[in-house]
């Protein structure tokens, strides 16, 4: 099996994809490390997030809320909600990866946008499994290395505001949001959420406007007249991935 | 200290969600309502985060140099610029506006 020439071609293609995604994501992690340090997280906390949370959108979410002065638990709630999609990815991956025993606990940590995208849609279960592990482990290694570089680099910065780093986080969120804004309904719900959040800012504790906006936005998504629950099925969720870098966005 | 609590609670929560996906019976996660919520959550949360982090400082609404940075980021996203270019342009623009108009 190992010397099957067709498989060797597939394997090198899968590994090349995995390497490209891992490198792009590692570069993105540098900005995470720098933004977290500028936001008041110490080096250990920043590294703990990349090692233990290991899901980029959630990490940026937690750091963003706390950096703005919000309660850390409100940041944690934001992070957990942003991580909810990983549960759906897991559902799709269970069948492909055939996880048993302790492997399930280890593999679960590698479930992120990138490893899922590089796994589902492969021609064979074997290629799907290779795509998942190669991408998951590669991104894990470079994501943490990138974070470390960002953490060390940020230590040299005396005034993050002078460098405009406080605008880096919302710009990062915008870049993550953009690929998900397909269709009028997504735009409308995003606009409602943004408006509710801004209006709530003066009236509720820091960190809560985002949570309130999320509830209102979700509620708006269930108003009569939406295109039906099937309109945003899991396939769409899986396809609307966080852009780890230029490779996936093109 | 409280930051550590937030970090650890967030980490445990995110891990349990990942584990849930490969552990719970399929019927739970295949409900249309669950799909719908998990498709909407990133959209509403990211949109709210963009708005709040651009237009507020603490509990005050403000319009400062970040808005210019975000506008440039918006154009970059629209032109399909790579992620790091989007973030870099936003920071650069904000820094330049602050240099030109101190206090923003």
Domain ranges of chain A: 5-161, 181-239
Residue B11 is nearest to which of A48, A165, A206, comparing CB atoms? Answer: A48
| Percentage, residues of chain A above pLDDT 70 | 88
Confidence bin at A235 (pLDDT 50/70/90): very low
Confidence bin at A150 (pLDDT 50/70/90): very high
The reply to whether residue A71 touches residue B2, judged by beta carbons under 8 angstroms, is: yes
Q: Which residues of A touch B71 (CB under 8 A)?
A: none
**Predicted pLDDT at A226:** 53
Residues A56, B71, A36: CA angle, nearest 5 degrees? 30
Residue B15 falls within a domain, yes or no? yes
Q: Which residues of A touch B103 (CB under 8 A)?
A: none
Contact indicator for A242, A56 with CB cutoff of 8 Å: yes
Confidence bin at A158 (pLDDT 50/70/90): low
Q: In this predicted complex, what is the ipTM?
A: 0.88
Q: For residue B21, what is the DSSP state?
A: H
Mutate to test the interface with B, among A71, A175, A220 (most CBs of B within 10 A): A175
Phi, psi of B81 (to 5 degrees): -70, 150
SS (H, E, C) chain A: CCCCHHHHHHHHHHHHHHHHHHHHHHHHHHHHHHHHHHCCCCHHHHHHHHHHHCCHHHHHHHHHHHHCCCCHHHHHHHHHHHCCHHHHHHHHHHHHHCCCCHHHHHHHHCCCHHHHHCCCCCCCHHHHHHHHHHHHHHHHHHHHHHHHHHHHHHCCCCCCCCCCHHHHHHHHHHHHHHHHCCCHHHHHHHHHHHHHHHHHCCCCCCCHHHHHHHHHHHHHHCCCCCCCHHHHCHHHHHHCCCCCCHHHHC
Confidence bin at A23 (pLDDT 50/70/90): confident
Question: CB-hemisphere CA count at 13 Å for A169?
Answer: 31
A187-194 average pLDDT score: 94
Confidence bin at A128 (pLDDT 50/70/90): very high
Q: How many CB pairs under 8 A join A and B?
A: 337
Contact indicator for A59, A34 with CB cutoff of 8 Å: no
The reply to whether residue B6 touches residue A167, judged by beta carbons under 8 angstroms, is: no
Question: Is the predicted pLDDT of residue A135 greater than 50, yes or no?
Answer: yes
Burial A202-213 (b: 16+ CB within 10 A, else e): eeeebbbbbbbb
Distance CA A99, CA B100 (A): 57
Most confident of A82-91, A185-194, B40-49: A185-194
**Predicted pLDDT at B29:** 62
- SS3 for B25? coil
Confidence bin at A246 (pLDDT 50/70/90): very low
**Is the minimum CB–CB distance between B74 and chain A shorter than 8 Å?**
yes
Q: Record the tokens describing residue A190, joined without a space.
A: 């995003």
- Cβ burial of A128 (10 Å; 0-12, 13-18, 19+) is buried
Q: Record the tokens describing residue A99, joined without a space.
A: 């996880």
Q: Which residues of B touch A176 (CB under 8 A)?
A: 42, 46
Task: Indicate the number of domains in chain B.
Answer: 1
Residue A122 or A58, more confident: A58
Contact indicator for B62, B56 with CB cutoff of 8 Å: yes
Distance CA A78, CA A85 (A): 13
- When the pLDDT of each residue in chain B is averaged and rounded to a whole number, the result is 90
**Is the minimum CB–CB distance between B1 and chain A shorter than 8 Å?**
no
Provide the residue range defining the domain that includes B6.
Answer: 1-30
Lowest average pLDDT, out of A12-26, A68-82, A188-202, B1-15, goes to: A12-26
Question: Is the predicted pLDDT of residue A194 greater than 90, yes or no?
Answer: yes
Q: Which residues of B touch A50 (CB under 8 A)?
A: none
The answer for B 3-22 residues in CB contact with A (under 8 A) is 3-11, 13-15, 17-22
Q: Give just the sign of the alpha carbon dihedral A64, A67, A70, A74.
A: positive
Residue B20 or A249, more confident: B20
The reply to whether residue B11 touches residue A73, judged by beta carbons under 8 angstroms, is: no
């Amino acid at each position: 099996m190992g010397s099957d020439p067709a498989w060797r071609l597939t394997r090198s293609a899968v590994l090349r994809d995995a390497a490209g995604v891992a490198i792009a994501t590692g570069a993105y992690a540098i900005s995470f490390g720098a933004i977290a340090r500028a936001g008041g997280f110490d080096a250990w906390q920043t590294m703990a997030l990349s090692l233990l949370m290991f899901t980029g959108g959630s990490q940026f979410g937690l750091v963003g809320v706390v950096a703005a002065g919000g309660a850390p638990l409100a940041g944690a709630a934001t992070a957990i909600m942003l991580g909810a999609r990983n549960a759906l990815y897991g559902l799709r991956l269970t069948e492909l990866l055939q996880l048993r025993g302790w492997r399930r606990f280890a593999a679960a940590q590698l479930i992120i946008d990138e490893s899922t995208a590089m796994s589902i849609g492969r021609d064979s279960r074997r290629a799907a499994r290779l795509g998942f592990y190669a991408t998951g482990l590669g991104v894990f290694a470079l994501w943490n290395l990138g974070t470390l570089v960002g953490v060390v680099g940020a230590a040299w910065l005396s005034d993050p505001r002078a460098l405009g780093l406080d605008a880096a986080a919302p710009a990062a969120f915008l870049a993550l949001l953009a690929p998900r804004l397909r269709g009028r309904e997504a735009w409308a719900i995003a606009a409602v959420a943004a408006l509710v959040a801004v209006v709530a800012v003066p009236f509720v504790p820091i960190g809560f406007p985002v949570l309130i906006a999320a509830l209102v936005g979700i509620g708006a998504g269930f108003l009569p007249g939406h295109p039906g629950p099937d309109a945003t099925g899991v396939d769409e969720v899986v396809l609307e991935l966080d852009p780890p870098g230029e490779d996936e966005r093109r | 200290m409280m930051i550590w609590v937030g970090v650890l609670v967030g980490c445990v929560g995110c891990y349990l969600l990942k584990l849930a996906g490969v552990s719970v019976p399929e019927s739970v996660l295949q409900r249309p309502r669950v799909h719908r919520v998990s498709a909407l959550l990133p959209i509403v949360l990211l949109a709210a985060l963009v708005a709040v982090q651009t237009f507020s400082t603490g509990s005050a609404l403000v319009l400062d140099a970040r808005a210019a940075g975000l506008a440039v980021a918006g154009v970059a996203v629209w032109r399909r610029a790579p992620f790091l270019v989007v973030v870099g342009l936003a920071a650069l623009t904000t820094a330049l506006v602050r240099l030109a108009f101190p206090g923003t």
